Structure 1
Amino acid sequence: MFGIISALGAASSWTYACYLWRKQTKYLSAAQINITKNIIAFIIFFPIILTFDFQSSFKDIFILFLSGIIGISVGDTFYIISLKKIGTRRTLTVEALSPIIATFLGSVFMEEILPFKVWVGVFIVSISLVGVAFQKTINTQYIISNKDRKEGFIFAIFSVLCAVIAAALSRSVLTQSDLNPFQTTEIRLLGSVFALLPFLGKNLTYSIRMIPLKIKLSLLFATFLGTNIGILLQQNVFKLLPIGLGWTLLSTSPVMALFLSGMEGEEVTWKTYLLTATTILGVGIVFI
């Protein structure tokens, strides 16, 4: 049960953080937002570094380090670019692909055998979310060009692939070592910061100084909510649930994003609400 609660908590915290990060793309680039949030998140959890035995856990730390580079450095940068181009709901909805990919990876590479009803639930959730992705909505605040729409979906798909691969690497460590979710979160953040350091320059420092205090506080809150809390809860999911089942629950973000649609100027249709209901049905089938 704690794994389920962690998954839904991670999905909701990530959803609201994405909404805040999209607003910050007016002031900072995707790479700047990503490296800033990762450095802040790493500093918040820094005391956890003192609990590591780097020598005896070198292999596990290396795998988590790689997971942070793939999932947080590369994947989150693609994600934020997609947020800017196509908005919160559409970007989150591309995660419709991730339950199937994650379930497949778990079955093939990690020998996680799931009951037939779980596959049915994953399929229903995925199809429903794909339907949500292609629903046309009226946006009164942002005009999305065809070019931005195509590029946004491409970046979102790449970010999902990065996230699922990183999740598989994290789960392999969490199930085979004594490292806890706090420790694995900090190692992944360390990997992401290391990979993004070459992009840390004077332009970033200058840009952060120039943005309004309200935006700085918003960035700090989004980081704590989406990166620290979000990744910590996500690591609990990877430890407690099979990757396919866990990722299905983590992918309920588009349902939660509907509550933010109005704030982004979107008018959601009844078809989207119907598809959202079938998404909830799919999740329910998994736990019958």
Structure 2
Amino acid sequence: MVYGIVGQHIPPLRLNLLKGIVAIALLILTILLTGESLPTSAPTPILLLCLSGVIGISWGDTAFLAAINYLGARRVLLLSTLAPPMTAIAAMIWLQESLNLTAWGGIFITILGVAWVVTERVPGSSDDSPAHLWRGIGWGLLAAIANAIGTVISRVAFTTGNITPVWAALLRLGAAELILLGWMCLPNRQAQAISFPYRQTKRIIFAACFAAFCGTYLGIWLQQTAIKFTAAGIASTLLQTSPIFVIPIAICIGEKVSWRAIAGVIIALIGIGLLFFS
């Protein structure tokens, strides 16, 4: 929700870079406080995690933030529900991870519930009249594909090496930030950097840092923990359920929540229950 607001003031590439810098600083602080050393591992898992970060964070997150600017949060979240089945199918091909019928049922029921929530039309919202519809769809599909590929590559790294989730998160973010910095050093990006007005944006930068703490620092750390300890398709499905948690937030800030939204949450929770049962 915060990124949806901040994205109206900071370009996607710049916002992706900013949230990564904040998250890396917090991850380094966490490692120093916990005294967790880099596990001894072959170079292949480390390189795979770096590649996962380049694809899933530098490409995928930038595409996701760009898609939000074109389509609005609801439609982008709907496109994001394509990532779990893509991830599960890719994991079957590359990792020979087989899911039983209960797990597949849980995946599709969860996606159905999330999709029912995010496709509801909200009167007066920008989601009903998105600018540059097809460009937004293109960015959204790119984000979903990058997310699926990044998740599977992370899973491969965990199955072939002994790396903890916090170090995995740091390696992925570090590699992604290097690519983003190189991207921004291109001549046209430098011109945008000079012309972008940073005056009167202290609140926006603070909001971006807060979102980076919740969504990038904690989010990617917990994401890597999920990918390490369960099948890639199940982890990806659970990671796409954030729209159902928007409902109680909306209630707390006084927004009206329809029965359709509540029904969608219930359907998604049934799917999640099937995933845990499987």
Residue 19 of structure 2 is matched in structure 1 by 37
Residue 192 of structure 1 is matched in structure 2 by 176
Unaligned runs of 5+ in 2: none
Residue 28 of structure 1 is matched in structure 2 by 10
Q: Tell me if 1:151 matches 2:135.
A: yes
Q: Distance in 1 between matches of 2:249 and 2:70?
A: 17
Q: Distance in 2 between matches of 1:170 and 1:144?
A: 36
> Aligned in 2, Cα 1:146/1:21: closer, same or farther, shift over 3 Å?
closer
> Is residue 46–residue 171 contact of structure 2 (8 Å, CA) maintained in 1?
yes
Matched AA of 1:247: S
Cα offset for 1:220? 1.2
Q: Distance in 2 between matches of 1:26 and 1:130?
A: 24
Residue 132 of structure 1 is matched in structure 2 by 117
> Aligned in 2, Cα 1:36/1:124: closer, same or farther, shift over 3 Å?
same
> Aligned in 2, Cα 1:223/1:24: closer, same or farther, shift over 3 Å?
same
2:51 to 66, 69, 76: 66
> Is residue 75–residue 158 contact of structure 1 (8 Å, CA) maintained in 2?
yes
2:215 to 215, 223, 226: 226
Q: Distance in 2 between matches of 1:136 and 1:86?
A: 13
Partner-residue secondary structure (3-state), 2:82: helix
2:69 to 78, 84, 87: 84
Matched AA of 1:237: A
Partner-residue secondary structure (3-state), 2:260: helix
Residue 157 of structure 2 is matched in structure 1 by 173
Partner-residue secondary structure (3-state), 1:112: coil
Partner-residue secondary structure (3-state), 2:160: coil
Q: Distance in 2 between matches of 1:178 and 1:162?
A: 24
Residue 97 of structure 1 is matched in structure 2 by 82
Cα offset for 1:213? 2.1
Give % identity. Answer: 25
- Once the two structures are overlaid, the 10-residue window that deviates more, 182-191 or 95-104, is 95-104
Partner-residue secondary structure (3-state), 2:162: coil
Residue 258 of structure 1 is matched in structure 2 by 247
> Aligned in 2, Cα 1:214/1:166: closer, same or farther, shift over 3 Å?
same
Residue correspondence of structure 1 range 267-286 to structure 2 within 5 A: 268-286=257-275
Matched AA of 2:98: I
Partner-residue secondary structure (3-state), 1:113: coil
- Once the two structures are overlaid, the 10-residue window that deviates more, 241-250 or 121-130, is 121-130
Residues 84-103 of structure 1, C-alpha deviations (whole Å, 9 max, x = no match):
22333332232221221122
> Is residue 128–residue 276 contact of structure 1 (8 Å, CA) maintained in 2?
yes
> Is residue 39–residue 162 contact of structure 2 (8 Å, CA) maintained in 1?
no
> Aligned in 2, Cα 1:131/1:65: closer, same or farther, shift over 3 Å?
same
Higher RCO (C-alpha 8 Å, min separation 6): 1
Residue 46 of structure 1 is matched in structure 2 by 28
> Is residue 139–residue 267 contact of structure 1 (8 Å, CA) maintained in 2?
no
> Aligned in 2, Cα 1:204/1:38: closer, same or farther, shift over 3 Å?
farther
> Is residue 96–residue 125 contact of structure 1 (8 Å, CA) maintained in 2?
no
> Aligned in 2, Cα 1:30/1:75: closer, same or farther, shift over 3 Å?
same
Question: Alignment length, in residue pairs?
Answer: 268
1:216 to 192, 200, 205: 205
- Once the two structures are overlaid, the 10-residue window that deviates more, 76-85 or 128-137, is 128-137
Q: Tell me if 1:113 matches 2:94.
A: no
Q: CA RMSD in A?
A: 2.8
Q: Distance in 2 between matches of 1:212 and 1:146?
A: 25
Matched AA of 2:119: F
Partner-residue secondary structure (3-state), 2:237: helix
> Is residue 95–residue 251 contact of structure 1 (8 Å, CA) maintained in 2?
yes
Q: Tell me if 1:164 matches 2:148.
A: yes
Q: Distance in 2 between matches of 1:122 and 1:143?
A: 26
